[in-house]
Structures are given as structure tokens and as C-alpha cells.
Structure 1
Amino acid sequence: MKFPTLTAAALALSLGAAPATAQDTLLNVSYDIARELFEALNPAFAAHWEETTGRTVTIDMSHGGSSRQARAILEGLPADVVTFNQETDIDVLAEGGLLPAEWRDLLPNNASPYYSLPAFLVREGNPLNIQDWDDLAREDVAPIFPNPKTSGNARYTYLAAYAYALANNGDDHAVAQEFVRDIFSSVPVFDTGGRAATQTFAERNIGDVLVTFEAETGGIAAEYADQGLERVTPSQSLFAAFPVAVVAENAERNGSTEVANAYLEWLYSAEAQQILGEYFYRLTDETVAAEFADSQADVELVTVDDIFGGWDAIRTEHLADGAILDQVFVNQ
């Protein structure tokens, strides 16, 4: 099969140089829009690893829609660790026998070292005055976000919009489904992942509002600063965990278990949390988080447990073939 392209990152030795110390290797399979984040994190971990162990590490990256990445791992992509934006995609790997079913218990905060929430990015001056989820259902607004069948990012968008509708219509699920259907019907193109959706919005100039993780709105606005894109945080959104796990079966076979565990544990360190904050993620280290508090908008965050009864219920009621997502996703 054809695997996603692997991009070398955080090379501790110059290419062609003879290694002076033992060298470790690691393949981190991640979500589509995490490239720049890990380009910053990986060299810092490589320096930490060499300082603490005397060994160098080469970290390779593979990026794509998280569900597609999970399927690729099940089909043979030899990931040592996954850093996803969707818990269900790690559950799929656990069901496939590649890591323990209790993977959430192996690291703090349910194995999520940082978090975010779906938010908006609008054109300069916000000409359509897009402020909240109900604006995305207007006939004059064209939202941009990826295909929720292939992108964890987009599934959070779907669930956040659904939760907002429930909160504003007395928990009427039929009305919530119609609300989400209205939003979906206005999306001009469904890309497979967040990176392509960003390019559709910022480079192809399609759509009026990009819906993505809050962390990404900051990075995208900076990357396309010449366009004057503006960040908008809705009044309510959905807590989005960014779960991580060692793919235990692969790591054991690859001899990378030690470095794989250290890599994920390091994401909770103050050094890593500082980098994550600079990339607009919300943090689990309260001390470091306080440094970024003034730059993060207030928002009412709801959880999948509170609104939907947890991920198992979501998988059955919303994401399974023929379930609610399929019924409202008129453009698939």
C-alpha cells in the first residue's frame, strides 16, 4: 500500500556525519495540521534526549487526516507514537491490538498534554459579521472545514455545532440535526484534512469563514498576515483533547519503547508546554498556562461526556455508517 509521505524532523546529527553516540529513531504519526508545531517541538526534545541520555534521536513525521492515519497504521504504517486530535482514532488502534485498551490511563489528563476547541477565522474586517455558530447556518455565509468522515478536526466542528444547537433549542435533537445540515449544505468543498481546508480558504480564497481548532487560527493568521485574517471565538465550543499514545506493538518491535515513552512524557514538561502555548494551544501545566491567559478568549467549553455521553456513544449514534452524521452530511 502507499503510505503518507514521511518527513524527517529533528535530526540530531548532520546528514552524512558519522554518529559519535548511539542513535534512536522514532516515527510520530500525527494529524494533518500539526506540521509547524512538531517542527518546533522535535528539535527541543532531541536536545533534551541527548542531554539526559547521551544518545541522539531522529524523529520522522507522518501527517494526514487522523482517521486516515489510524487506518494506515492498522494496515502497516510502523508508527512508534501517535499524536492525534481525536480519541476515537486511538481507540481504533487499541481495538486492533496495537496498544492497550486503557491507553488513556497511561499518561496524565487522559493522555492529553494540551487541548483546544473549534473556533473561526474570518476575512479582514469580518465583513459578514460572523460571531457564533448560528452565523454559519446563514444562507449568505460559506463555511470551510474538512470532511468529517476523514478528519478529526472536522468531527469536532460537527459536534461543537450540534452541541451549540442543543443548548439553544431546548435539547431538541431534530432541530440540532437540521441546524447542522444547514451548515453542511453551505460548505462549497470538503477537503480530506485541515491542511487542505486551510489552503482552500487562505490560498484559493474560497469561503467566508474557516472553522478549525483555535490553536490553528492563530498560526494561520500569522502565516497569511498579509490577508488580515481575524480570529473569532464563538460563545460556546467543545473541549478538544489532543490525545497521545505509544503504539506499543510497533515500538517493541522497533526497539523504540524507551524513547517513545520519554517523548510523550516530555510533552507535559514546562519546556514543551511553553512551545505549545506559543502555538496557541491551551495547556495542562497551570503555571505555564497563566503566562498565556491574557491572549486566550473566554469561552464556555462543553465536553463530549456532558453533551453526548462520551465517545462510545458518539461512535454509535453519530459516526457509524448510516448514523446521524451520515444523515445530515448531504454533500458527502
Structure 2
Amino acid sequence: MKKIVLTLALALAATPAAAQPTDILNVSYDIARELYASINEAFIPYYAEQTGTQLTVNQSHAGSSTQARAILEGLQADVVTFNQVTDINVLAQNGFVAEDWQSAFPNNASPYYSLPAFLVRAGNPKGIEDWDDLVRDDVAVILPNPKTSGNARYTYLAARAFANDAFGGDDAQVAEFLTSFFGNVPVFETGGRGATTAFVERRLGDVLITFEAEALAIAAQQGSDYEVVVPSVSLLAEFPVAVVDRVAEARGSSEIAQAYLEFLYSTQGQEILAQNFNRVHDEAVVAEYADNFPEVRLVTVEDEFGGWDRASEEHFAEGGLLDQVFLNQ
């Protein structure tokens, strides 16, 4: 992994302390509350030790696309830590984020990654092992709405990738598979945490589909009540980050925002990410936490669907393939 040298001391020298605020806002995706609370708990004393400045890092969480729209409408985000490239691209297209934002940090500005996985109840009573089990008449599936949640868009694409492979790219069979799959969803929540609440607290459904990190965290917290099932194939889910330049430059928080995101790539940051069940890039940390993450064949949006721009136009735009699936319900 390309190493980043944290530049806090230089930043402090270059920008008078009085010109900088002592708070930033991290606008993030729905299920990342606990993750970034842990990141903040480590970053704030680190920053204080390096600069003498005591920061407050505020958090905002909702569906990734909902958050992008909120920023366009005035939410003053200094940084974004999203779960989908397209939501940062929207900000870049509207002048909030640099057009070359993916080159600002290593790994296409994605410090960690995950994949759609299944959370089932103890003993896996429905015997759910792979995507084809989710179209059975006796299985109720819980996930958020792909119209409002990046989490669910990954799930939709992962299910379609499985069907493409299973049916040799036969469009009619793939469409029938996805119609059955979404027909087994009793209610669509707006974001990933709402789906988790529906499954865990309201006891709806037989399986929750969410990021592996969320599924592993629930299983760890709830003891023997749940099990995590990683399917045979899934989709690489990158978690891109960016400084919201329009806001940060206006507030004088650019140096702090940069340092905050750089911290995610530090060994300490990668440790925290892995402890919260995210897959990371730091080789030493990967080796340390290897037992938490089973092998899985991951396909990418680029290889399977021609990239996010094409996938957005073909699948998620009004009248696209996702709408066609919903119309067939």
C-alpha cells in the first residue's frame, strides 16, 4: 500500500491557528456511526498531540445518496466518507469536490472495503447459503431500498452478477431471478441501519443482506443469536472518501479535513477499521485480522457492469433495469 506521510505540522505552520475552526463535520453513510465514533476517539487526541488543537468531529449519517443530496442542498460537510463512488461524483460534478478526487488518496481514495453478505438467525433455520436460496418462496429478505441506499445498490448488483453467471447472461432468466428476489422483500427501509433494525429488533425476515462489516459486528454483539454467511460470489464494495473543498475552503478547515482522511490510511486507522470488521489494505493489518475474513470471489462494478457511470445509467436511472424489476413485482 502506498504510504501517506501525515502533514499536520506543516499544515499548522502554513495556516495560522486562528484561521482554522476547531470542528469538522464528517458526512457518512448510514451504518458507519460506531465506526467513525471509534475513529474520532483515536484521531482527536492524535491531532491534539501533533498540533495542540483540541478538535470536535461531528458526524452525520443517512443513506449515502441521501447524504450527497443534503450537501448539494446546504449541509456543511468538511469531509465525506461514503459507500459509493457515484455519490462523490455527484458532488464533483456540482463543484463541491475536486474532479480528480480519486487520485487524492491511495486505492482510488478508498481506505477500506467490504462486500454484501448475509446475516441469518442462529442455526440458519432456512439453510441459506447462496444467492439462489433467496428466491425461494419460504424466504423473506430484508434490505434497504436501492433508490436511496448505496448499501442496497451493491446488493442489487451482486445479486445480478450471480444471476448473470448462473444463467449464462440470459436476460430473461436474470430478470426473472431478480423479480423473485425483490418480491421476497416485505418492506424497503431507506438505509442500511433501518434494515438492520427491522431484522434484529423488529424480527422481520429470515435474512438480512448488508455489508459484511455490519453483519460481522451484529454477530459479535449479539453472541450466538446470529450467523454470518458469505456467498460464493459477491461485489467489491469500496468506501470512498473526499474533502469537500467548497465547504472546507470557505471554513478554513481544509488542512484538518485532509489530516482526518489521511489518518484512515495510517496503521492506527487501518487497525481501527479492521477491528470494526472492514477489510483493509495495510499488509500487516490484513495478516493480523485474516481469520475474520473468509475467501470469496469478488467481482467489480468495472468488470461486470462497465463502471459506475454505465451502471448508474443502465440500472439506477429512471426507467432503468432496476425500475423494470420493480414494475414486475
Aligned to 1:79: 77
1:88 pairs with 2:86: yes
Matches within 5 A, 1:218-229: 218-225=216-223, 228-229=225-226
**In the alignment, residue 312 of structure 2 is paired with which amino acid?**
R
State the shift of 1:330 in Å: 4.2
More helix by share: 2
Aligned to 1:278: 275
TM-score by length of 2: 0.92
Match of 1:170 among 168, 172, 192: 168
Matches within 5 A, 1:281-296: 281-296=278-293
Matches within 5 A, 1:139-218: 139-218=137-216
> What is the alpha-carbon distance in structure 2 between the residues aligned to residue 94 and residue 221 of structure 1?
37
Matches within 5 A, 1:47-86: 47-86=45-84
- Tell me the SS of whatever aligns to 1:298: coil
**In the alignment, residue 283 of structure 1 is paired with which amino acid?**
V
1:98 pairs with 2:96: yes
Shift in CA distance, 331/123, structure 1 to aligned 2, threshold 3 Å: farther
State the shift of 1:252 in Å: 0.4
Q: Is this contact kept in 2: 1:23–1:58, CA < 8 A?
A: no
Number of residues of Structure 1 aligned to a counterpart in Structure 2:
310
State the shift of 1:172 in Å: 2.1
State the shift of 1:175 in Å: 1.9
**Residue deviations 1:55-83 (CA, integer Å, cap 9, x gap):** 11110000000111100000000000000
Match of 1:299 among 290, 296, 300: 296
Q: Is this contact kept in 2: 1:185–1:330, CA < 8 A?
A: no
**RMSD over aligned Cα atoms:** 1.3
- Tell me the SS of whatever aligns to 2:208: strand
> What is the alpha-carbon distance in structure 1 between the residues aligned to residue 215 and residue 193 of structure 2?
12
Aligned to 1:255: 252
Match of 2:43 among 38, 42, 45: 45
> What is the alpha-carbon distance in structure 2 between the residues aligned to residue 178 and residue 86 of structure 1?
27
Percent same amino acid at aligned positions? 60
- Tell me the SS of whatever aligns to 2:59: strand
**Residue deviations 1:188-238 (CA, integer Å, cap 9, x gap):** 01000011100100000000000000000011122333x611000000000
**In the alignment, residue 268 of structure 2 is paired with which amino acid?**
E
Aligned to 1:238: 235
Q: Is this contact kept in 2: 1:273–1:285, CA < 8 A?
A: yes
State the shift of 1:179 in Å: 1.1
**In the alignment, residue 285 of structure 1 is paired with which amino acid?**
D
**In the alignment, residue 59 of structure 1 is paired with which amino acid?**
V
> What is the alpha-carbon distance in structure 1 between the residues aligned to residue 254 and residue 328 of structure 2?
43
- Tell me the SS of whatever aligns to 2:209: strand
**Structure 1: which 5+ residue stretches go unaligned?**
1-21
**In the alignment, residue 258 of structure 1 is paired with which amino acid?**
E
**Residue deviations 1:122-158 (CA, integer Å, cap 9, x gap):** 0110001000011111111001000000000000000
> What is the alpha-carbon distance in structure 2 between the residues aligned to residue 325 and residue 211 of structure 1?
17
More off after superposition, 169-178 vs 280-289: 169-178
Q: Is this contact kept in 2: 1:117–1:214, CA < 8 A?
A: yes
State the shift of 1:24 in Å: 1.9
Shift in CA distance, 35/331, structure 1 to aligned 2, threshold 3 Å: farther
Q: Is this contact kept in 2: 1:73–1:79, CA < 8 A?
A: yes
Q: Is this contact kept in 2: 1:66–1:89, CA < 8 A?
A: yes
**In the alignment, residue 41 of structure 1 is paired with which amino acid?**
I
Shift in CA distance, 214/315, structure 1 to aligned 2, threshold 3 Å: same
State the shift of 1:284 in Å: 1.1
Q: Is this contact kept in 2: 1:184–1:330, CA < 8 A?
A: no
- Tell me the SS of whatever aligns to 1:56: coil
Aligned to 1:126: 124
> What is the alpha-carbon distance in structure 1 between the residues aligned to residue 179 and residue 241 of structure 2?
31
Q: Is this contact kept in 1: 2:141–2:184, CA < 8 A?
A: yes
